[in-house]
Structure 1
Amino acid sequence: MDDSDHTVTRTGWARLAMVAAFGIAFGYIEAAVVVYLRALFYPDGFTWPLADLSAIEGTMRFCLLTEVGREAATLVLLAAAAGLMAQTWRRRIGYFLLSFALWDVFYYVWLKVLLGWPESLADWDILFFIPNLWAGPVWAPLLTSGVMAWIAAGLFGARPLVMPPARILGLAACVVGIVVCFMLPGPHVTEPDYATHFPWAVFLVLHAAVVILMRRSWRR
């Protein structure tokens, strides 16, 4: 995969292999951290609805704040690795999306290996803490990761990418909407009806919109 002509070369395949290894290994690191956090915060088992984390203090609160910093550092690492892999922004975005997707998918693969969890794709998980708590069923971040990997594959292809301002704004609006969908259940994770606060229909429509907009962006 050459940055100048968008074709797949032996060097390009080697880079993809390195990104794949990075994402898979990083997924294990993420899963290992979650194993420690669950042992610390949920010694009696990770069950929903969650215990109220707002009341914690002392060392436990410091650990939670440290986790927020670790999440920010993770995003920086993913972006930095993508930046080192390519010279063009198209390739850098592709590598970022691919490494993020693999990291997220293999996070759940490794959790299954280490903890036997999730039991199903409908199980709920805490997804992120920046800027507020994200939560949702496991299938939701996996769907997002699948779309990210699909976009990455397109960015690695040879077709020109046509992105007029209106389409960029549309994609940005969809991304913001997806993030909001993940954040809406956050304030309700301690309530018995937590699952009703995830707008899954809107979530699916937003992903479909992203796919449609991106398909229109590949010039045939």
Structure 2
Amino acid sequence: MALRDRSQSFSLKSLFWLSLFAIAMAYLEAAVVVYLRALYYPDGFAFPLKMIPFQILVVEIGREAATIVMLVTVGMIAGRNFGQRFSCFIFSFGVWDIFYYIWLKVLCNWPDSLLEWDILFLIPVTWTGPVLAPVIISLSMIVAAILILHLAARGVEFKLNLLEWGLEFLAAAGIFVSFVLDCKNIMNGGLPNPFRWEIFLGGELLGIIVFVQRYVKILRTMKK
């Protein structure tokens, strides 16, 4: 039977405040990108990339690191245990990432489509890919977080075993590879090669399957 601990239960009302924080943070992120594109891409953002000064690049990497720290911090504050904190983090991350693109669309009418390529991340190397790819990941993270926190609201903790964690890391590694495979070409001023959707979707599906199987097992034990 699933272990229930009401002292560790989670209030789903907290998701409203997490969402509000993430949406506001996404606006700040989008505003910075609007400024950068006005400076370095006055005719509109497009590949090949323009090389920016090293000092600005360092600042950008620091900004991205600070963004992750803020999202982790709000997760640590909102949750009561590891599972809740991690879920709050991925929920906030997902909302932030999706609204980042929504705000970009509002502020500078970009992207033209979800298949438009973007610079996704700079740590530890440059990640690039179609906007649709991170949106898919973010939606998956939001759904997973809500399901886990729904259990937490009922006093049930979601836990993966070591094998499941290993498979989830493998899934994440596949997704990471799909984003950085073209890094050298992109950073050398080339146009993006076709995105490796088969690698990306393989990692995404593996992660979803492992999660769903564990979630279903927990639901079954709750009914016993």
TM-score between both structures, scaled by the size of structure 1 = 0.88
Superposition pairs of residues 1-220 of structure 1, within 5 angstroms: 4=6, 12-51=11-50, 53=51, 56=52, 60-158=53-151, 160-189=157-186, 190-192=189-191, 194-196=192-194, 198-218=195-215, 219=218, 220=220
State the distance in 1 between where 2:5 and 2:74 align: 16
> What RMSD, in angstroms, separates the aligned Cα atoms of the two structures?
1.8
Q: Is the 8 A contact 2:26 2:99 kept in 1?
A: yes
Q: Is the 8 A contact 1:3 1:86 kept in 2?
A: no
Unaligned runs of 5+ in 1: none
Q: Is the 8 A contact 1:3 1:88 kept in 2?
A: no
Deviations along 1:98-155, whole A, 9 cap, x unmatched? 1000000000000000000001011000011100101000000001101111110121
Percent identity between matched residues is 38
Q: Is the 8 A contact 1:3 1:91 kept in 2?
A: no
Amino acid at match of 1:16: L
State the distance in 1 between where 2:212 and 2:104 align: 33
Q: CA deviation at 1:162?
A: 4.3
State the distance in 2 between where 1:69 and 1:3 align: 39
Unaligned runs of 5+ in 2: none
State the distance in 2 between where 1:6 and 1:157 align: 12
Amino acid at match of 2:34: V
Specify whether residues 162 and 89 from structure 1 end up closer, same or farther in structure 2 by C-alpha distance, changes over 3 A only. Answer: closer
Relative to structure 2, which stretch is displaced further, 122-131 or 153-162?
Answer: 153-162
State the distance in 2 between where 1:109 and 1:166 align: 37
State the distance in 1 between where 2:54 and 2:159 align: 47
